[in-house]
Amino acid sequence: MPVLNVAIAGFGTIGSGVAHVLAQHSEHPDAKINLAGILERDTQGKFVRSWFEKNPELFYESPEKLLEDPEVDVIVETIGGNGFARELITKALQNGKHVITANKDLIAVHGAELIEVAQENGRHLLFEAAVAGAIPVLRLLKDYLQVQDIQGIRAILNGTTNYILSEMETNDLSFEEALSQAQDLGFAEQDPTNDIKGIDARYKLVILTYLITGQWFAPEQIALEGIDHLELADFEYAERMGRRIKLIANLRLSAQEGVQVYVLPLMIEKNDILAKIAGSTNAVTLTGKYAEDITLIGKGAGSLPTASAIVSDLNKVQSHPEPFPPPAASRKLAIESMDEINFRHTLRFEVRDHPGIFGHYGKIFERLSINIYALEQLPQYHRIGKEGEETVIFTLTLQNCKEGLVQKALEEINQADYMLKPVVLLREIV
């Protein structure tokens, strides 16, 4: 087998991790993958400086030099973003080079067009590292689909949010305290928006959905809710119900040419395997038509786990230089409206103490044919305001009903003058 010459574009945390793994692999006498070049503008950065000092000949003066290098077989893109990275990948494929990337944002938004470019030029475009780090979920899906129809996925795809939720539950930290701790430990970025709002998990779910259905959905088509509105009262309620709160990326195929797909904080039973996933760990549960659930667990981020997934893709290119066809879209699927999906809903209210509140709620729910299952006050969270006015916090659990009905009720309830905050909604899959 010929040696595969690899160039790395972008030499930050991930790029340097790939170089480290390749350097170790090169020490093996049968090594068939060679680091042939590095594209990095800032040669004095903390990850790149030592490499530049020891091996300056590896560094390209410009992207054009890299793209024109006939010795380079594969470009590993670890730049990130949707601008320059997209342009570089497109030109690399057009110049006859395979491309491997961990850029989930780019693949989720522009995957369809980039895969088309790869197919037109007979090149690989691989992105195992874009979802769940070192967990080989994409590889498993590609192979597993040959013998098994996947009916659904439930997954924890963001280590930052899982760490925050775990700390809030286990150590009674507020959201702000848990986020700050995650940032101090390097689990969360200084700007954590993509994590805590669920955007990162949604990008990954777009990619998983494509591999299962053969269809690309735009990220904005997937319903989304983050975790930054959750409070300790929510975890206390979940504990009493024998549940844990996790940010779940969910996909479920239906028999009516539809698919349920969303990223939401959900209450799940403590004996569910995903409920046991703590800290920054990721997990993916695949549900098959004929087999029992399969769950993959592992590190979803970090330099070396991500690098490991990238090197796995390099090995695939090395052993199979001809690209595999994209997954076939056997049927045209439509995303089911969230309004039509049934959940068990628990609503947390924070209100001014006011007569007639429960009667008001009752009339709204009755008009919408929503049945109340349970009411629970949370006196430990009640507060007395500056003017002696009491703040009352309580939960209402509803019988299983459609999301759209609950949202209609909340539109009216949240307008009431005794409401101090919008209602916080916790859901459970039924």
Number of domains in the chain: 3
Query: Do 282 and 351 share a domain, yes or no?
Result: no
The residues annotated as belonging to the active site are 204
pLDDT attached to residue 150: 83
Of 2, 29, 4, 7, which Cα lies nearest the Cα of 18?
A: 7
**CATH code where residue 199 lies:** 3.30.360.10
Of 98, 130, 162, the last residue of a domain is 130
Domain assignment of residue 318, yes or no: no
Q: What's the rounded Cα separation, in Å, for the pair 221 and 196?
A: 19
Any domain includes 357 = yes
| pLDDT > 70 in the chain, percent | 94
Same domain, 97 and 154: no
Same-domain pairing of 247 and 380 = no
pTM attached to this predicted model: 0.92
Query: Comparing C-alpha atoms, which of 279, 86, 26 is closest to residue 166?
Result: 279
CATH no. for residue 22? 3.40.50.720
Same domain, residue pair 370 and 395: yes
Residue 330 clears pLDDT 70, i.e. is over it:
no
pLDDT of residue 387: 64
pLDDT at site 352: 87
Residues 309-317: what's their mean pLDDT?
90
Same domain flag for 146 and 268: yes
Do both 29 and 144 map to the same domain? no
Among residues 74, 75, 83, 149, which one has the least CA distance to residue 110? 83
Is pLDDT of 301 > 80?
Answer: no
Confidence of residue 290 (pLDDT cuts 50, 70, 90): confident
Instruction: Give residue-wise pLDDT tens across range 391-409.
Output: 888 899 999 999 999 999 9
Same domain flag for 178 and 260: yes
Q: Summarize pLDDT for 231-252 with one digit per residue, the tens.
A: 999 999 999 999 999 999 999 9
User: Residue 277 falls within a domain, yes or no?
Assistant: yes
**Per-residue confidence (pLDDT) for residue 145, from 0 to 100:** 60
Let me know whether 24 and 141 are in one domain. Answer: no
Residue 13: predicted pLDDT: 85
Residue 151: per-residue pLDDT: 87
Q: Is the pLDDT of residue 147 over 60?
A: no
Q: How confident is the model at residue 24 (pLDDT cuts 50, 70, 90)?
A: confident
**235 and 190, same structural domain?**
yes
Q: Quick one: 258 and 160 in the same domain?
A: yes
| 323 is a domain residue | no
Model pLDDT for residues 149-168, shown as the tens digit of each residue: 788 999 999 999 999 999 99
In this structure, is residue 334 part of a structural domain?
A: no
On average, the pLDDT of the chain sits at: 90
Q: Domain for residue 257, yes or no? A: yes
| Residue 314 is assigned to a structural domain of this protein | no
Residue 354 pLDDT > 70, yes or no? yes
Same domain, 160 and 125: no
Q: What residue has token string 């503008």? A: 41
Domain limits at 399?
339-429
- Do 20 and 42 have their domain in common? yes
Does 326 map to a domain? no
Domain boundary among 130, 149, 184: 130
CATH number at residue 383: 3.30.70.260
Average pLDDT over residues 12-31: 82
- The residue from 253, 270, 300 where one domain ends is 300
